[in-house]
Every structure is written in structure tokens, then in C-alpha cells.
Structure 1
Amino acid sequence: MKALRIGRKPPGVWLNRTPPIRGGVFVKRTASPVPSDSEIPSDTDEAISADDSSSQACSDLDTELSSATSLSSDASDVEIDDVKVKATGLAPPTGVKRRGQVSQMDKLVVGGGVVAEKASSDASDAPESPTNHGDSQPRFSAAGYTAWAVRQEIDKDSAVYPSVDPTVQQRIIHRYQALHQRVHDGGYYKCRYIEYGKEMSRYTTLFALFLVALYYKWYMTSATFLGLFWHQIMFTAHDAGHLAITQNFVVDTLIGMFIADFCCGLSIGWWKSSHNVHHLLTNHPEHDPDIQNVPLFATSPAFFKSLHSSYYDFTFVWDAAANFLVPIQQYTYYPVLAIARFNLYLLSWLHVLSDRSTSLGKSRAWWIRPTEITFMACYWFIFGYLLLWRALPTWTIRIGFVLVSHIVPMPLHIQINLSHWGMSTSDHGESESFPQRQLRTTMDVDCPAWLDFIHGGLQFQAVHHLFPRVPRHNLRRLQKLVREFCDDTDIPYSILTFVDGNKKVLGRLGEISDQVKILIDCQNYMAENGEMGLH
């Protein structure tokens, strides 16, 4: 079996359960093997020792490439002197080297003992500030400024949150596992169905008021109640998407499809597809679809370099439209959210017609796609034909009805963004634990218990991100345990009021806007002077 061995598992735990030997990284082999570590017995055959060393070096190279290329993940080739490393099939790089950190890529043992030198990454080479000392002119190129801005974000987080050293993060993971056991033993995963009885009475009342107002031809009042109905009932669709109601996949999926697809015209399949990624890699510019909104909005300087989305398999190009829209994003934020529902219609239909949805046909969940298409078609027949075309008398009233009913649920869209858009978007590498990443990128909203029905559980997003399948009616009680966990691990627990949270989001949007203005100055300066920038 030793002849078939392709690598040796490094000692210690896997970072975020990522296999240490993976991907396709290939190097030129040399004749002089270098033993990888003391794990190789002294009486081991030289050939096997050389294979182990080479495999170990490849594994180390994979890890270092993943870290060193996070600021330029679109690059497919990495040149190391006369050794060319072709990276194919790798997971998207996640690590970013911090200022002053010495990487093994600076002096790397490649293959069987070749020592290669590599220059520091762009992030490490970027100047300390975007301008010359005492000079208002940009000091370096747009790419250099982007690298500098990203590095500043990482340094700011590193000063506040625990070190990403594996020993520290393992301690946090153990505390998190102990907390999960307390959550399980405390019955927090048990759904209190009496609370959904209250929810149903609220939904029924709002829908009845919509019909009554429509009957008496109070059209705008009717539209308001319909919008409130959509706003409230989508909270339960969110619960169903997380299997937090019955914990049964088929039952909760049907509940979610009835609410989202049939009642609201939105695909629960699209929502689950993007939302699951959002939960795994919250606020990661390259992977989280919830913050990939260029050219309308940007919440991270990482977007300045035209990131390729791993979810959409699409490059969000930073172009003239982004240069125009992002600097004013703090002013367009609320107007765009007011009509955000129309974009959700588009994303829903694109999903059910995409390969991501059609691939379900080969699984036991084959029935989801045709059911979603049927339910969404029924929604448009009822809302578009029976209500708008048949029940409303004029085009003016029809347009007004659509706008009012779609703007009223605007607080739902604000609530969704509130917990994340003002938080960190930097990448601290694979060694950062799941609980620390969730708490670093997510904020809770402080509100009295009697207002919980307005927020629908979304005010406890930090708690929810740690335990996504805990029913939302138990999140307020669970919040106390999460606070204790944060105190025990020294991870800051972020919580603000609804007003202060919105101020933080607008402040973040304004901060990125200011950075874009500097970026544009860099671009203009380089264009005028024909320079590539100083590094």
C-alpha cells in the first residue's frame, strides 16, 4: 500500500475540516529529496522518504498558495523563479497575509528540495498610506491602494478579535461545542408551536384586512395590508428554509414553498441556495452572494479589484458605473431597498430555470423544481391577472397598488442587511474558527420583547448564525448563553439598537464611498502621468 500512498496527513486538526491534501498543485521534481519532518522513521526506504517529503511539500505549497493569492484569486499561474506552479481545481483561496507576517512562500522548499524565493504579496508591499508624506497626490496605483485598504481592514479586526492562531481558535471551538451541548440539552431546538398559532392569527388578520379594503375599493389601504402580510409571513418562510419548524425536510420545504412561492412569488429554492452559502462564508466578498451588489453597492474595498463570485460564477467588474454609483451609495441605499422586491422576482425565476435548480432532477428532491414553477405561476395568475388586471379599474391605480404593496415590506430588506453590512468583511484565513467568523461578521439588534413580531427573529442574527436551526421563538432565551460564550472567549458581541445599527450601516457605506473617491484619484493620477504606481 505504501507504493500507492500519495501524501502524508500533517499532524494536528484540519483547518475548518478542510482536507490538508487536496486540489491540483504540481511542481517540478528534483533528485535531492528533503525529509519532511521527524515523523519519517530513520529506517524508512529512501524512495518512500522522498515521496513523503514531496507530498508534504506539495501540501504545504497548496496551503501557502491559498493564503498568498487571496488578493489575486483570479490568477491561474504562480511563478517561483524557474519553477512554474499550475493551480487547477483548487478551492478558492481564503487567506490574506497580514503586515509584517513572514510567509513560507518567501523561502519555500519545493518538490524534493528546490529552494525558491518569492517576493512578498501585494498586500505586504503596499505603502503605509495612500499618499506621499505631506503630498496630496496618490502614492501608488489603484491596485496598490486596494491592497492597502484590504490590509487595513484585517489589521483593524486583528486588534479587536482573538488571534487566529490554531491553539487559540481550538479553545474557542471547544467552548462552542460545549455551548452547543447546552443548547441541545436545554431544549432550545424544540419548536413551540403555540407561537406559530399566534403568527397564523396575525397573518390571517392582515390578509382579511387586505380583502376587506379591496372589497370597499380602498385600493391603497388594501395594498398596504397586502404588503404587511408579505412582510410578516416571510419570517416563517425563513424558519422553514432552516428546517426550524418541524425539522422534517419535506414538510418544511412544502411550508416554505407555499409561503414564498405561492403567497409571495419568490423561490424558496433560490433563497436556500444563496442563504446556505451566506451562512457558511458570511460577509466574504468572493463567496457571500448577499454582499455581492456591485455596481450598486460595495461593502468592502476587496470589490475594487473586480472580484469573481464563486456562487454566481460571474465576475463583478469594477467599471465606470461602479465609480459613479458607489460614491453615492449611502444616499441611494434606502431608495433601492424600497424596490428590492422586484429584483427578488428576477433572481427567483433565474434560479428555477438555471442548472443549479435543474440538477435536483437527479436526486430525491426532483419534485422541488416543478412544484416551485407551478406555485410561482399560480402567484402571478392570482396577483397579476385576477388582482391587478381584473379587480383594479385603471392603470394609475394598478401602478400605485404595485408600488405601495412592494414598498411596504421595505423594513424586511433593511433588517436583512442591518446585521451584516456594517460588520467586518475581511478574510482571516482558514484557521479562524466558525463561531469567531460568525460573531465578527454579524450584529444583533437590541429591541424590547414586545417588538419581536416586527423583526421576526432577524434581530437575533448573531445568535441565529451560531445555531441556524434553533426556532426563532427561542432565540431571545438563547441570547443569554451566547453572551456568556462571548465573555468566556473574549470575542466581542455586537449589538445595537435599530437606529444605531442603521447609522453604522450608513457609516460603513460612506466609508467605502470615501475609499472609492481616493481610488478614482489614483486612477486619474496614473492616467495623467502615465505611471504604473509606486510600490
Structure 2
Amino acid sequence: MVVPPESAGVRAKPRDDFSELVRLVRGEGLLERRRGYYAVKTGLTLLALVGGCVAFAVLGDSWWQLVTAVFFAVVFAQIAFLGHDAGHNQIFRTGRANDRAGYAFGGLVGMSYGWWMGKHRRHHANPNHEGDDPDIDIPLLAFTRGQSAEKSGFVRWTSKHQAALFFPLLLLEGLSLHWAGVQAVWRGEVKARRLEAVLLIAHVGVYLGAVFVVLSPPVAVAFIAVHQGLWGVYLGCSFAPGHKGMPTFTDRTQLDFLRKQVLTSRNVRGGPWVDFTLGGLNYQIEHHLFPSMPRANLRRAQPLVRAFCADHGIDYAQCGLLKTYHYVLRHLHDVSAPLRAKSAPAR
């Protein structure tokens, strides 16, 4: 839905509240790098990847490889989360060092780091902004009534039934990320085009080579389907809770940075297991306010930001993990209601 300026804690006139919050967070040392945390996190994640590769080689041509496919889906998602952190300069002090890590992580999972960074920067600049946020510009889905009215043909059908199709469509998210990266590199839309081309080609060669050398064709195809499908579902289920079902805005709504980021984001409650599973994206509000804040510090920043928002009359959304999916699906169902109404038979 499009929220008018006078609702949901929105003020049309910008204020300098964010500077006050920055001073509070910086005073707690929450913007400092966490080298030890990322050294351990990266080391354990890469160790898990190596362990999975060893298990894959030892098992050989067996249908038990579908279990390793599930394991690799989780590991690939965790590597992608590290690439996300590198893209936000959370790991190292310099952008160059973070970019090098980002390219490496992207190459491991077969994604274009440069393409993803360009897309993700646009999202952070204008979250849930109709027309400017690429994360709510997905052809097969509609996230606003305005988008649903523009659909036609097959995408009109998918949008009409999008609540039911949302999770099945996530099975294609992994392949979509691969393909979007390949297109961006082919068209020269990334800065390090040659490097990314080499990384993507190397990934495809090693991945498909290992799968089809070790496994028979039926098992290989099943392995790829399970791995890529569940990887896409995992990533989609990690990204969706942060913004889907939250207010959307247009150019007619004027918001200061603080309110723009808070009002369009949702946190997910939970302990360390949620932090691990969602790669820190469960602190979506704090992450959007302080993108370069190391993942390990987001939990400490959360109570400070929530209290600050309460003091300044800014709505702060937070709920449990399963509840977030309820909100996402309900929003998708509500947005597509006009499409279903138009197709309903007259009585």
C-alpha cells in the first residue's frame, strides 16, 4: 500500500534526528570493525564448503547426494551473506579489501558481485519506493496496486495468484541470480567485467564438471535441481521478511533518511539461531540505518534504535519469523485482489 505522509509516524518536514542516533551508536563503538568475528565466520563457512566437497567426492554416484545438495544450499547462502557484508564494507576498513572479498564470495556461488552491488545500492537508497527500488520491481509479482494494474498476459496470471505461487517461484530465484549476473557481465554493465567473466566461467566449469563427472546424469540433474532450488528458497525467505508487506512510497511522499529506512523495514525476533539463519538480515532496520555496521553488532544496536524510535514517535516493526511470512503472503494476496475481482464471473 502507499502510505500518506501524515500516517505511520511519517513527518513531511525532515529533521536531523538521525545525527543524534549516529552519535549514540558511535558512542557505543558499534561501527567499529569486527575482524575476529569475520575471521572465524569466514573460516568456518569455507571449512563447511570444503567438508561438503569431500563428502560429495566420497559418496560418489549415489542418491544420498541429494542430502549434500541440501547442505550445499545452506553453505551457498551463508557465503552469499558474507558477500553481502563485504559489499557493505562491514568486514574490512577499506572498500578495495571488501570488494576483493566480495568478488571471491560471488565467484564461489556463481553470482556477479558487481551486478548485485549496483542493484542493492539502489534498493538501500530507496527501499520500497515504487519505481526506484529494484527489489519490488519483479516481473512475475506485484507489490503495489499500481503494479498489479500494469500486468498483462502470463505475468498478470502469476500476479493474480502470487500469494499461492510465492514460495514455488522462489525455487527459481537461484537460477535467476545466476542469469542476471551473466547478462550484466555480457552487456558490460559491471566495472570489473573481465574478472567477473573469469569467475563466472570458472564457477560453471568446476560446478558442472564435478557434478557430471562424479554423478550419473539422473542423479546429477536431481542434485542440481535440489541444490539450486533450495538455495533460491533460502535466499528468498531471508530477504522477503525485511520489506515485503511494509509500506511503499512514491515521489509524492517526502521522508527524511531515518523515517524512510525505518518505516519500510521489519525486524525478525529470535535468538542466535535466527541471526545465523538469516545472516543478520533479521535486523533489517538497524542494517538499513547503518549499512556498514558489522553483522555481529546489529544485535547490540537493536535495543538502542528501538528505544530511539519510540522516543521520537516512529513506528518500529518487529515480529516472529513465521509471522513475517504471514504478513508477506497477506500483502501479496491483498495487492492482487483487483486482478481476481476483474476475472470473477458476473452474477
- Scaled by the length of structure 2, the TM-score of the pair is 0.92
5+ residue gaps in structure 2? none
Structure 2 residue aligned with 1:216: 59
**How do residues 155-174 of structure 1 correspond to structure 2 at under 5 angstroms?**
155=4, 158-164=6-12, 166=13, 169-170=14-15, 174=16
The corresponding residue for 1:227 is: 73
Render the CA deviation track for 1:315-352: whole Å, top value 9, x for unaligned: xxx21223311121111100111221001111001111
Q: Deviations over 1:174-212 (max 9, x none)?
A: 221111122223221212222123313431342233123
Cα distance, 1:407 vs. partner? 2.7
Does the 8 Å CA contact 1:176/1:485 hold for their aligned counterparts? no
1:228-270 Cα distance to aligned partner (Å, 9 max, x none): 210111111000011111131211111001111x210100101
CA deviation map 1:73-130 (0-9, x unaligned): xxxxxxxxxxxxxxxxxxxxxxxxxxxxxxxxxxxxxxxxxxxxxxxxxxxxxxxxxx
Q: Determine whether 1:342 maps to 2:175.
A: yes
Deviation at 1:355, TM superposition (A): 4.6
Q: Distance in 2 between matches of 1:322 and 1:161?
A: 35
Q: Distance in 2 between matches of 1:203 and 1:322?
A: 38
Which has the larger Rg?
1
Shift in alpha-carbon separation, 1:219–1:450, aligned structure 2, 3 A:
closer
Give the letter for the 1:448 counterpart.
G
Q: Which residue of 1 aligns with 2:97?
A: 251
Aligned to 1:382: 206
Aligned mates of 2:274, 2:337 — CA distance in 1: 35
- Indicate the residue corresponding to 1:204 in structure 2: 46
Q: CA deviation at 1:416?
A: 0.6
SS in 1 for 2:3: helix
User: In proportion to residue count, which structure has more helix?
Assistant: 2
Select which of 237, 242, 267 maps to 2:83.
Answer: 237
Higher relative contact order structure (alpha carbons within 8 Å, sequence separation ≥ 6): 2
Query: Aligned AA for 1:440?
Result: L
**TM-fit CA distance, 1:226:** 1.7
Contact 1:419 1:461 in 2 (8 A): yes
Q: CA 1:406/1:475 → structure 2, altered by over 3 Å: closer, same or farther? A: same
Structure 1 match to 2:157 = 324
> Which one of the candidate residues 301, 305, 319 is aligned to 1:482?
305
Match of 1:37 in 2: none
1:154 aligns with 2:11: no
Which residue of the partner structure matches residue 239 of structure 2? 416
Say whether the 8 Å CA contact 1:210–1:223 is kept in structure 2.
no
- Give the distance between the partners of 1:496 and 1:519, measured in 2 at CA: 34
Given that residues 148 and 159 in structure 2 are in contact (C-alpha distance below 8 angstroms), is that contact kept between their aligned partners in structure 1? no
Q: Structure 1: which 5+ runs fail to align?
A: 1-149, 307-317, 361-367, 526-535
SS in structure 2 at match of 1:159: coil
Question: C-alpha distance in 2, partners of 1:428/1:497?
Answer: 31
Would you say 1:398 and 2:198 are equivalent positions? no
1-structure distance, mates of 2:282, 2:248: 20
**d(CA) in 1 for partners of 2:40, 2:276:** 10
Of all paired residues, the percent bearing the same amino acid is 25
SS at match of 1:444: strand
- Counterpart of 2:113? 268
Deviation per residue, 1:41-68 (Å, 9 max, x gap): xxxxxxxxxxxxxxxxxxxxxxxxxxxx
For 2:337, the equivalent position in structure 1 comes to: 514
1:489: how far off?
A: 1.6
The Cα shift of 1:520 comes to 5.1
Q: How does 1:492-511 map to 2 (within 5 A)?
A: 492-511=315-334
Does residue 24 of structure 2 align to residue 182 of structure 1?
yes
The answer for the alignment partner of 1:303 in structure 2 is 147
Higher strand share: 1
Q: In the alignment, what sits opposite 1:364? A: none
Is the Cα–Cα contact under 8 Å of residues 8 and 263 in structure 2 kept in the other structure?
no
Aligned positions, number: 341
Residue identity in the other structure for 1:276? R
Q: Which runs of 4+ in 1 moved over 4 A?
A: none
After superposition, residues 343-358 of structure 1 pair within 5 angstroms as: 343-357=176-190
Give the secondary structure class of the aligned counterpart of 1:425.
coil
In structure 1, how many angstroms separate the alpha carbons of the residues matched to 2:230 and 2:48?
A: 13
Q: Which amino acid aligns with 1:224?
A: V
Q: Using structure 1 for the length normalisation, give the TM-score.
A: 0.61
1:425 matched to 2:248? The reply is yes
Q: Quick one: distance in 2 between partners of 1:204 and 1:244?
A: 18
**1:280 corresponding residue in structure 2:** 125
Letter in 2 for 1:453: F
